[in-house]
Structure formats: C-alpha cells, structure tokens
Amino acid sequence: MQDSDQPAKLQRARRDELVVEAEDGEAIGRVDSLYYDLETGRPAWIGVRAEGDQLRTLVPVEGSRATGEVVRVGFPRAVVDAAPRVEAEEIDELTERRLVDHYDLPRPLEERETAVITPIVRHEEALSIAKERTETGRVRLRKWVETEPVTVEVALERETVRVTREPIGRPAREGVELGEDEISVSVYAERPVVEKRVVAVERVRLEKSVELDDVTIEEELRVERVATEESDG
C-alpha cells in the first residue's frame, strides 16, 4: 500500500470467464480484475463485478479457491455485497485499511503497492468420441435351379410261365379222341412310372447378431501451457 497522497498506479483489464461464488455457493458476479502485490507478484484482491454494476467489489484472495472456471471466496454473499466498492484505477492506504477492517482479516496487509492484472485461463483439447452406424457390406441369400442326377433302386414284379408235367397212368375217358388243343395264359409284369413333384425339404434364412470389438483410437490434442517471463527493469 502507498500513502493516500501517493496512490499506486494500476492497470485494469476485464475478464468475464471466471464466475465468483460465495462460500455457500451463491453466485456473486464475475472476475473483473486481479490486484497483485508488485513486490512478490502474488495476487492480493479479487475485483468482482456483478451484472449491471459500475463499481468493482474487492474480495481477499486469501481463503479463496478456484475450481475449473469458478472462484469460491471464503465469505458469505452478504459480507461481500457490503464491502467497499472501487471505481478508481488505484488502491490507496485508506481504501485498503477499510477493506481489511470490513473482512476482519486476522492481520493487516503489509504496506505494498498493489496493481491489477488480468487472470489467464488455461485451456486444452479433450477427446470426445461418439458412435455412428455405417453400412460395411451386404449379405444376400439367393436360390436358383440346378439339375443333378439321381439313382433310385426299385424292385419290380413280373410273372413267369413254366411247364409242369404230371403223369396220370390211366385210360382216357370214353369218347376222347386224339386231336389238337391250345391254352393261352396272360403274363403280367410291373414297370416303373416316374413322376416329379415339388416337396419342401429345408428352410434357410439369414440371422444377424452383434459382436463387440475393442478398438484403440490414437489422436493428438492441443494443450495450452502457461509460463512466466521476466524482462529487465
């Protein structure tokens, strides 16, 4: 801090990425700027600006913690809302004393110059993998007609005729004379009668199933790095 007649020269920059919450999680506003110690380079105060406000409210950096894009301070919202607000681009000793008394800090801040610096939010790419269904091919079930030879064994009946002779050895009947005679006998046999008919012999169908394959995805992601640089003077 400087004497009230020698205010510290400050630089102010807007920063709307970080949301500021009270210790109970209630939103207060967004980080407008950071006031840091010029000797140690450590932040001392967080400049918070609510939507529509023209003035900044200062909250001690000590006791605050940042998670992602949210900064949670160690005070209730009522205490922060009642804190002295700053419009000028400087913090003098009187203003800093008022802030120390308001937040009932355990010890007074050392008298150092304080300035405002824009916080840097580091980003990096994350890999997001989605799934989509694509056609990888087609399977067709087709039937056609072919002619193939078939051999079937069939048993067929046929009648045969043979001549049998039986001796009699007695006189013929009276009145029988010698002469010609003839006997005719019909002979039958089976023959194959071939017919073709269509019969259902088999049911063929296509069935789909799902298999799970593990694949390895390799990609390059861009990552932001933050480093400090010192310049002479």
Q: Which domains does the chain have, with CATH numbers?
A: 19-117 (3.90.50.10)
- Residue 157 DSSP code: -
Q: Which amino acid is at 27?
A: A
Residue with tokens 């049911």: 203
CA dihedral 73, 76, 81, 82 (to 10 degrees): -120
State the Cα–Cα distance between residues 64 and 105, nearest whole angstrom: 13
**Per-residue tens of pLDDT for the chain, all 233 residues:** 333 333 333 334 444 568 999 998 999 999 888 887 766 777 888 989 888 888 889 999 888 988 888 999 999 999 999 998 887 667 778 888 888 889 888 654 455 455 555 667 888 999 888 989 999 999 999 999 999 999 999 999 999 999 999 998 888 888 888 889 899 999 999 999 999 999 999 999 999 999 999 999 999 999 988 888 888 75
The pLDDT of residue 2 is 37
Cα atoms in the 13 Å half-sphere on the side-chain side of 174: 0
Strands 56-60 and 43-49: antiparallel
- Residue 219 DSSP code: -
Whether this model's pTM surpasses 0.85: no
The pLDDT of residue 195 is 94
pLDDT for 13-41, tens place per residue? 444 568 999 998 999 999 888 887 766 77
- Residue 158 DSSP code: B
